[in-house]
Amino acid sequence: MKLHKVALAFLPALLLAACAETPMGPTAQVLPGPGKDYGTFLQEQNFCRSQAAAAVHGQAGSQNRKALYGGLATTALGAGLGAAVGGGTGAGIGAAAGALGGGIGGSAYSHSQQGGIQTQYNNAYVACMVAYKNVLPAPNAGYAPQ
C-alpha cells in the first residue's frame, strides 16, 4: 500500500516531465564553409540559433496548454459520468479517473509534439546557416550496401 501512495505522489512530476519544451539547440550538424574562420562561424551560429528560437517561439507553451485543457475536459467528463452512474462517490471516482486519463493523454500529446517543434527549429537553423554559405556534412560516400 505504501508503494501505491508513493507512486501517486510522483505521478504529477512524471506527467510534467512529458511536457513539450522549446529546443535548447539544433540537433542538425552544420560545418563552416570553405575558408571561413571559426570566429565568424560562431557568430553566424549564434545568430541562426536565435532565429530558429524565434521561429518556434511560443509553440511549446501552446501545445502544453492544449494538453492541459484536454486534461481538464476529461476530468469534468469523468466527474459527470461518475455522478450520473454512482452519485456523489461516483463523481469523485469519475473525476479522479478522468484526471488520471486526461493527464496521461495530455502528457503523451505534449511529448509527441516535441519532435515537430525540434524539426521546425532545425529547419530554420539549417536554412539560416546555409544562407551564410556554411555546409551540411556529406553522407558517408564510402558505404555501399551489400
Looking at residues 47-76, what average pLDDT do you find?
Answer: 75
* Confidence band, pLDDT 50/70/90 cuts, at residue 79: low
Cα–Cα distance for residue pair 96/83, rounded to 1 Å: 12
Query: Which residue do the cell numbers 551560429 mark?
Result: 45
Question: Which CA distances in Å does 108 have to 19, 20, 36, 84?
Answer: 8, 10, 43, 28
Q: Which three cell numbers stand for residue 107?
A: 502528457
Q: Band of the pLDDT at 69, cuts 50, 70, 90? A: low
pLDDT tens, position by position, 16-45: 445 666 677 899 999 999 999 999 999 999
What pLDDT does residue 7 have? Answer: 43
How is the chain split into domains, by residue range? 39-48+96-135
pLDDT the model gives residue 61: 63
